[in-house]
Amino acid sequence: GDSVTQMEGPVTLSEEAFLTINCTYTATGYPSLFWYVQYPGEGLQLLLKATKADDKGSNKGFEATYRKETTSFHLEKGSVQVSDSAVYFCALIQPYTGNQFYFGTGTSLTVIP
């Protein structure tokens, strides 16, 4: 079945460090891929998405590229801020054959000044 695997956390970085959170997926066909972010005490917010191979999603300095050859959608940011501290979820959905979102387990990021 379809699934998403994220790198284990927690991740702790200093401000202005480079961030990579790995995400790989298992799915048939051409799923759409998403990154959601959950700030403390809040619901999940869509961060970025990509709907086809080689698409790059970007938002708020975060980027992720849909790599079909490696079935990956790694999240990157060149310079993290304290305000980026949150839990990040990778997710996929099959646009035409299913309605269920498959979420990864989440990666907790803490950025220290």
Question: Minimum distance between the CB of residue 104 and other proteins, rounded to whole angstroms?
Answer: 8
Q: From residue 35 to residue 54, what is the string marking binding to other proteins with x (rule CB under 8 A)?
A: -x----xxxxxx--x-----
Shortest reach from residue 91's CB to other proteins, in Å: 9
Question: Where are the extended beta strands (E) located within the chain?
Answer: 3-6, 11-14, 19-21, 23-26, 32-38, 44-50, 56-59, 62-65, 75-77, 86-93, 102-103, 107-112
Residues forming contacts to other proteins in the complex (CB under 8 A) are 32, 34, 36, 41-46, 49, 89, 93-96, 98-103, 105-106
